[in-house]
Amino acid sequence: MRILLCGDVMGRSGRDIVIGNLPRLRRELELDFVVVNGENAAHGFGITEEICRDLYQAGCDVITGGNHSWDKKEIVSYISGDPRLLRPVNFPPGTPGNGFGIYALPDGRKILVVNAMGRLFMDALDDPFRAVDAALRQHPLGAVDAILVDFHADATSEKMAMGQFCDGRASAVIGTHSHVPTGDCQILAKGTGYQTDAGMCGDYDSVIGMKKEAVIARFVTKMAGERPQVADGEGTLCAVFVETDTATGLARHIAPLRLGARLRPAWPVPIRETASVR
- Report the catalytic residues: 68
Q: What are the C-alpha distances in Å from 126 to residues 63, 115, 130?
A: 21, 13, 8
Return d(Cα 106, Cα 215) in angstroms, integer: 45
Return d(Cα 81, Cα 78) in angstroms, integer: 6
Return d(Cα 249, Cα 85) in angstroms, integer: 23
Under 8 Å between Cβ of 20 and 9: no
Closest-CA residue to 9 (of 81, 65, 49): 65
* Beta-bridge partners for 266: 258
Q: Which helix (H) or strand (E) holds 149?
A: strand 146-152
What are residue 162's phi and psi, to 5 degrees? Answer: -65, -40
